[in-house]
Amino acid sequence: MENSAFAIDVRGVTKKFGARTVVNNIAMQVRPGEIYGFLGPNGSGKTTFLRMLCGLLKPDAGDGHCLGLDFRRESGEIKKRVGYMTQKFSFYEDLTIEENLDFIARLYLMPQRKAAVKQSLERLGMTERRQQPAGTLSGGWKQRLALAACLIHEPQLLLLDEPTAGVDPKARRDFWEEIHKLAAEGLTFLITTHYMDEASRCNRLAYIAYGNLLARGTVAEVVKAGGLTTWEVSGENLAALADKIRKLPGVEQVVAFGTTLHVSGRDAEKLQAAVAPFMTEAQRWTKIDSGLEDVFISLMETAKDNFA
């Protein structure tokens, strides 16, 4: 059955809603046990792509395998082996935590259902609160419940759609620790996110904008492929400076990062020539390694020109 060394190995995946192409000819390869980050601005087609992988949407084109199964024809089998965590909490708020887990376990025809639910509750640390309606949980706990419910049927692949949106930093950190633990046990993850710190916790990532895949690889590879030179400026009157240099040739983006300014461009020499006159005493200029965020913003800006 395993005719592919990859957990996900698809290419040419395309989805149109009417005349609008939401996912355009995307290929993706994810290795087993890998945490694969999937990034891109809102409405870029990430959710649509995940939904196609788990059989919720029918792709218009593309082929390939998901866990060794034909992802277009064997979605029934794929569903049994994949856990999908939706962006919005999508369990029953009027059912208790235990009832939700039990319901999901039943749908997957778990042979040791009661034991699986019990184990899942223990793992969640919710054994005492199992009678609590899911609707009364806080955001962080809802997210943990959703993860537990996705895991109950022991899937091989987890598709998580913005799992940490609206979750506080502590809960987010715990969540990622859990994910790394599970990945170490051999589970494969495909996670969409907007957070750069989360992106850098992934083994590899892909960046998608307006349905097109713009970059992929490890964090270092993506940054390198971005080919961006970045200067960090600190000092006073940064806002005024930003306005002055934004329009200069060679300056592709000027972004405020806290109390500093990141000035980037793909042509290092042209950039330096442009900003040289502004390197005065008032501000301190340092050449830094471009960050993931610099690269993504640059990719997004370029993509806007090309596709939007």
Using rule CB under 8 A, residue 165 touches other proteins: no
Which of the stretches 36-44, 92-100, 182-190, 195-203 binds other proteins when contact is defined by CB under 8 A? 92-100
> Tokens at residue 242, please?
């930003």
80 binds other proteins (CB under 8 A): yes
Closest to other proteins by CB, 107 vs 273, is 107
Per CB under 8 A, 94 contacts other proteins: yes
Q: Closest CB to other proteins among 55 and 291?
A: 55
- Of the candidate residues 37, 40, 45, 55, the single one contacting other proteins (CB under 8 A): 55
- Identify which of residues 150 and 245 has a Cβ nearer to other proteins in the complex: 150
Shortest Å, Cβ 105 to other proteins: 9
Q: Does 285 help bind other proteins (rule: CB under 8 A)?
A: no
Q: How far is the CB of 240 from other proteins (least distance, A)?
A: 46
Q: Which residues bind other proteins (CB under 8 A)?
A: 51, 54-58, 76, 79-80, 82, 84, 86, 88-95, 99, 103-104, 106-109, 133
